[in-house]
Structure 1
């Protein structure tokens, strides 16, 4: 049994046709057929049920194909690791980021990343935190930007920055006349939050718990932008991460942001990768680039407030 035979096996499982599988492997059809028959003889079981019109996997064939895919994936991983070790800054890195951070952080940092690593190809994935952690664990991502804490022993973390929260209220709200408030004043507020599965929801609930505030039960948003639009429509208040505030001066007649005078509600952001990753040194440098944010982004002026 060799890798070429496993490649033929997987190709035939994918195409369910000897001719198309042979074309995909760039070999003659008799060659592929012979190698599949040789593999069946070696294993002592039929891997495919053959009819005049189609090819179907047997139960033994399904198991063999699943194992073959894992073996081939490991071999590709070995080759990729070798390429990365020799020229890590010229390869591919798969980066994950969660939805309430990616749209606001990536436009700020990607020009710096490209300048520092001009030949590095970054493949970006946006997904909720639990999905990103699972992809990291399974090797489907190389690195992910996540909110701390993350309880995974196999992951290395480089903390990047701490992002404050601000309270977003409609301009008609009684708090719109103020520049700041104390955390305990949230006890008199009912906050709109994101739906389950968003780490921002968990962070906001923690703030609510500390302040004695309540969550509005009639509405849960699917995105941070939806929350913003609901505040603009005058339907409630919410916590807004500092990076999402940029550009909100456009809404100055309808939305107001308040800083917290005490407690400083915030979330900590880190860069995570597997401790066994061959990309460790490169990702350490990437963390330095991501950490270098302009201070104004994390301490925004209340641009959404008209001057009086």
Structure 2
């Protein structure tokens, strides 16, 4: 039994196709099939039921795949130990970022990171929180940046910063004249929200303590863009809430419509998250250090109330 054979088994289990698995492993299909067959002969069992389309795991095959994941992870950990001992920061590192954080945070730290660690091939993917969790658990991401807490037992969270919610009230709105607002100033039936699947939307619903907001009788919005929400608010179609970092690049005219909440300000907790096996932890630590260094200058809020990204009650800190 070899680590390579286990890699091949995991690839077929994931893609349910020998040809596609071989392409992903950069080997020929006969080579991959032969190695898996050798493993099955050695163990005297069938890992895959080849009579089904797509290929399925046998009952014992499912158990072997689960153990193979553990073995492959531990073999990768040996490489990590060597890299850390040598002080080597290099190789491929896949990180996921949720859409409401990617446009503002990534430009803040990416240039600094790649200059400091030029040998790391940073692969950045944009996914919603649900997909990020799925990819972290399956090993398709090394780490991610998302709103927390997520309450996932197999995932660790390191808080990077707290990002306040900021109200956007169009000109002539009744609350435009206020210097600071509170939650009671929100007209929950007229809040323009991002489409379903965005945790920032769920955070707003938690903030308003009303997960069943009425839909406007004239239109139904399905947008993933804060810019769209701002423009609709300017047209008198409602108000909206924005993450603080997103407000920094707005025009001076647009900023006149922003209103901060009274302290403690409602905020989202943004964290670097990764599997508890802590593979490539030295690169994860390098990311945390780089991001923390640039963000602390942009966000200096401390008296905040953390709003959960999961649809439920809020908690304080």
For 1:160, the equivalent position in structure 2 comes to 160
In the TM superposition, residue 169 of structure 1 has moved relative to its aligned partner by 2.0
Question: In 2, distance between residues paired with 1:119 and 1:171?
Answer: 50
Match of 1:86 in 2: 82
CA distance in 2, matches of 1:254, 1:279: 41
Deviates most, 187-196 or 269-278: 187-196
Which structure features the higher share of helix residues? 1
Instruction: Give 3-state SS (helix, strand or coil) of 2:251's partner.
Output: helix
Q: Is the 8 A contact 1:157 1:270 kept in 2?
A: yes
Structure 2 regions of 5+ residues with no counterpart?
A: 302-317
* Matching of residues 61-210 of structure 1 within 5 Å: 62-63=56-57, 80-87=76-83, 89-187=89-187, 190-209=190-209
Aligned to 2:215: 217
CA distance 1:39–1:187, shift in 2 (3 Å): closer
Distance 1:180 1:91, change over 3 A: same
In 1, distance between residues paired with 2:165 and 2:175?
16
Shift of 1:173: 2.6
User: SS of the residue aligned with 2:113?
Assistant: helix
Equivalent residue for 2:305?
Answer: none
SS in 2 for 1:292: helix
Q: Summarize deviations over 1:212-258 as a string: whole Å, max 9, x none.
A: 898451234431333233223332111100111132116x2697111
| Distance (whole Å) between structure 1 residues aligned to residue 137 and residue 179 of structure 2 | 43
Indicate conservation of the 8 Å contact 2:76/2:279, yes or no. Answer: no
Q: CA-atom RMSD, angstroms?
A: 4.3
Asked if structure 2 preserves the Cα contact closer than 8 Å seen for 1:180 and 1:260, the reply is yes
CA contact (8 A) 2:95 2:141 kept: yes
Change (3 A) 1:39 1:183: closer
Q: How many Å separate the matches in 2 of 1:299 and 1:32?
A: 54
State the 1:195 CA deviation. 2.4
Which residue of 1 is the match for residue 308 of structure 2? Answer: none
Distance 2:290 2:200 in 1: 24
How many equivalent residue pairs?
Answer: 282
Deviation string 1:111-138 (CA, Å, 9 cap, x unpaired) is 1221332211111111111211121122
Contact 2:129/2:199 (<8 A) preserved: yes
Deviations 1:146-175 (Å, cap 9, x if unpaired)?
212110122221111010111112224333
- What corresponds to 2:230 in structure 1? 228
Change (3 A) 1:39 1:222: same
Match of 1:58 in 2: 51
SS in structure 1 at match of 2:191: strand
Shift of 1:144: 1.1
If the length of structure 1 is used for normalisation, what is the TM-score? 0.72
Q: Distance in 2 between matches of 1:249 and 1:155?
A: 38
Structure 1 residues 237, 156: closer, same or farther in 2, change over 3 A? same
Instruction: State whether residues 80 and 280 of structure 2, in contact with CA within 8 Å, keep that contact through their aligned partners in structure 1.
Output: yes
The answer for unaligned runs of 5 or more in structure 1 is 49-56, 301-308
> Which structure has more strand as a fraction of its residues?
1
Mapped pair 1:269 → 2:273: no
TM-score (norm 2): 0.70
For the Cα contact (< 8 Å) 1:165–1:264, is it kept in 2?
yes
SS at match of 1:174: coil
